[in-house]
Amino acid sequence: MTQQLVFTAPRRALPPRHLADLDPAGRAAAVAELGLPAFRANQLAHHYYGRLIADPQQMTDLPAGVRAAVADALFPTLLTAASEIECDAGETRKTLWRAHDHTKFESVLMRYPRRNTVCISSQAGCGMACPFCATGQAGLTRNLSTAEILEQVRAAAVELRDRDHGRLSNIVFMGMGEPLANYARVVAAVRRITEPPPNGFGISARSVTVSTVGLAPAIRKLADEGLGVTLALSLHTPDDELRDTLVPVNNRWKVDEALDAARYYADVTGRRVSVEYALIRDVNDQPWRADLLGRKLHKTLGQLVHVNLIPLNPTPGSDWDASPKPVEREFVRRVRAQGVECTVRDTRGREIAAACGQLAADSE
């Protein structure tokens, strides 16, 4: 029997219960506890998911006499913006959130001509210890609750709506943390992101991406959930020798195991897998690694894969740096020569330290 590693967050005070933590049965029970009619459960959920309202004082169809009690029981303030910073002519906004226990984590809202994307955190910090990642070097503080994850989504949707009548279209779990190490809460959040009101925000599953450094059993489990979201595998090198250092979880699940799990995900869901590859100067950008990456992906995933090459966003004080553009172009050419689609990610937010973990680290 294969032994699975369990990534346990340090014990911290749990966030207070929030409506967004609850499924329909939980909402019904919570409303009953307050002595309210059963129909109030759907009414509150419509306000939260459909109208993006989290303050019962603004719920005018709720009796004034019960609004305070509802606020205390189901709408505690979970997140406060500790810092916000913009770049790209206001098209990129990074928010440092402070939770009830003063834990800090980040989200980034990015506006594009045909889509609006929010990159959200699933943990405060990260326990994966990847040396080129600011969050990984900071360590894991704790898992986020389902509601703390969803509040990042709601905040982005509200900002887009109020600022320019925009609509949130894409969500990527690529902020702080390893999403599949906070599996149950992330899956619950994805269900509420994709289900229509009153049970969720109604965002297409095809517009939601969940990233992982390669927790192979959890990838297979996610495939069986029937969610239909995009899986992004943060591979960063095709060989075990280097990946054992760049992505320490590789010491437990090797490259081939992670790719086999990704193939299972693609087969079960019918969705193409995105392979993330942070290109680091003189570390993982050699031509032979591009060739090996292309061969392995073509053999394992065929046409069900796309390589997303990421120019490394250096963190302050780090020796890691992005590869030169000619090296980047040659890497792309070699991967494509193996029959695998490969593109370079449009980088955003370099001047505001938008590599996740930097803003939180700078604030300490």
Active site residues: 106, 356
CA distance 97 to 102: 9
DSSP character at residue 163: H
Question: Under the phi-then-psi rule, with left for phi > 0, alpha for psi from -120 to 50, and beta for the rest, what region is 293?
Answer: alpha
Contacting residues for 39 by C-beta, under 8 A, at least 6 apart: none
Dig out the tokens for 314 from the structure.
């250096």
Tell me the binding residues for S-adenosyl-L-methionine: 177-178, 211, 234-236, 313
Residue 80 to residue 35: CA distance in whole angstroms: 30
Say how far residue 343 (Cα) sits from the centre of its chain.
20
Binding residues for [4Fe-4S] cluster: 126, 130, 133
Residue 184 structure tokens = 């149950």
Rounded to an integer, what distance in angstroms lies between the CA atom of residue 96 and that of residue 85?
Answer: 9
- Both tokens of 82, joined, read 């500790």
Beta-carbon count within 10 A of 104 CB: 21
Distance between CA atoms of residues 321 and 149, nearest Å: 30
Q: Which residues carry a binding-site annotation?
A: 126, 130, 133, 177-178, 211, 234-236, 313
